[in-house]
Amino acid sequence: MVIAVGNTLRIGLESIVDDSYDIVFGENLFPQIAEDLAKVRLGSKYAIITDSNVNRLYGAALKSALESAGLQADIFPFEAGEQSKNAVVFLGLMKSMRELDYGRDSAIIALGGGVVGDMAGLIAAIYLRGIPYIQVPTTTLAQADSSIGGKTAVDTEDAKNSIGAFKQPARVYIDVATLVSLKELDNRGYVSGFAEAVKHGIIRDPVFFAYLQKNAKLVLECDPETMLYVAKQNCRIKGTVVEQDPKEKGLRQILNYGHTIGHAVETLSGYRRLHGDCVSMGMMVSGNISAKLEGLSEQELEQQKELLQLLGLPIWIPPEISNESIIQVTLKDKKARGGAARYALLKHLGEMHDFAGKYTTPVDNAIVIAALNATRMQH
């Protein structure tokens, strides 16, 4: 109800939003996706947004599964790689959707890894002021992290994910069978995504951390049962955080453990280094800072390092990236406040510091530099 008080009109827009959605786990899920969409009729037609690599593998199969269920779909591919996650590619995709008359009654299917999911999600958030989308993540990273929780974005040259929105997907389908081809074609990319799984264990769940320690070999071999278990644990851990703080006002910031430095390294590499690899290095730096400031024990820091190494993740900051440049880029990080970068830090393995409800803290440059130096390979 519009209320008038003096020379002010108040537009009353209080609302309770239900953004709940299901995450479906399994193998070879395309027929189920088509069947479900035929039932729920999320859109009158479906824009499958995907990258060139995933399109070669799965684009036609998903389109034909949808068509067999009587649904109309088109594929909107773009060049694979984080370098494509920018405003130019993003606008180009929307222009192509306009050309094929995708209207407000259409929906998007994000088929691919983190770049696809983030960019397709952002299109869903703003295309014709918003249309629904589902996530079909095909990489370890997207299945562990980016397809869950509704963060969508594109990068700018100076900072990762600097333009974005929160837009929860209508549903997520985690098909672990897609990981087999990823492992075969791009083992580095396959391994890199496990950084987010290690992060979930470290920040929230020592039992899952121990599971990863014990089952690292099966994880690296892409054993289907193990991958299903890992995917479910990732989504459970992340889901419990996102449920409490969907817009990252507080608690959700613990999911950024390792990301302040990780994003800086990724940005400074011109987005050539993989996100998971950079998060792995960033967790080593944040672990060192946590040991210095928050009492994380040397033994716990060593456990983190050993698990990252066991899973084949990098633990050293690349020599060509200087401490000074990293510090500079962290100032542009989304978490920075009042010109100071902020860090999510560990108290113990499985428990993050809450910093009186702020969940991140600024850290003196001297301490960050000491932690960066401790994360450089000694010759």
Q: Furthest-apart CA pair in the chain: how many Å?
A: 73
* Strand partners of residue 172: 23, 135
Burial class (CB in 10 A: 0-12, 13-18, 19+), 339: exposed
Residue 109, SS3? strand
Q: What's the closest the beta carbon of residue 148 comes to ligand GLY, in angstroms?
A: 7
Query: Which is nearer to ligand GLY, 149 or 276 (by Cβ)?
Result: 149
Residue nearest to ligand GLY (CB): 255
- Element spanning 131, H or E: none
Contact 353, 346 (CB under 8 A): yes
Contact 363, 289 (CB under 8 A): yes
Residues in the chain: 379
Query: Which is nearer to ligand GLY, 63 or 342 (by Cβ)?
Result: 342
3-class DSSP string for 60-89: HHHHHHHHHCCCEEEEEEECCCHHHCCHHH
CA torsion, points 266, 292, 358, 18, in degrees to nearest 10?
50
Q: What's the closest the beta carbon of residue 358 comes to ligand GLY, in angstroms?
A: 16
Q: What's the closest the beta carbon of residue 149 comes to ligand GLY, in angstroms?
A: 4
Query: Which is nearer to ligand GLY, 175 or 196 (by Cβ)?
Result: 196
Residues 6+ apart with CB under 8 A from 86: 154, 155, 156
Query: Which is nearer to ligand GLY, 203 or 308 (by Cβ)?
Result: 203
- Element spanning 296, H or E: none
Query: Which is nearer to ligand GLY, 171 or 252 (by Cβ)?
Result: 252
* Footprint of ligand GLY (CB under 6 A): 145, 149, 151, 252, 255
Query: Which is nearer to ligand GLY, 245 or 351 (by Cβ)?
Result: 245
Q: What's the closest the beta carbon of residue 334 comes to ligand GLY, in angstroms?
A: 11
β pairing state of 346-348 and 351-352: antiparallel
Query: Which is nearer to ligand GLY, 45 or 332 (by Cβ)?
Result: 332
Sign of CA dihedral 73, 170, 225, 189: positive
Inter-CA distances, 31 with 27, 117, 172, 175, 311, Å: 11, 20, 14, 11, 32
In whole angstroms, what is the distance from residue 128 CA to residue 103 CA? 7
Q: What's the closest the beta carbon of residue 266 comes to ligand GLY, in angstroms?
A: 13
Q: What's the closest the beta carbon of residue 136 comes to ligand GLY, in angstroms?
A: 18
Q: What's the closest the beta carbon of residue 254 comes to ligand GLY, in angstroms?
A: 9
Query: Which is nearer to ligand GLY, 145 or 333 (by Cβ)?
Result: 145
| Runs of H (alpha helix) within 10-55 | 30-40, 52-54
Q: What's the closest the beta carbon of residue 255 comes to ligand GLY, in angstroms?
A: 4
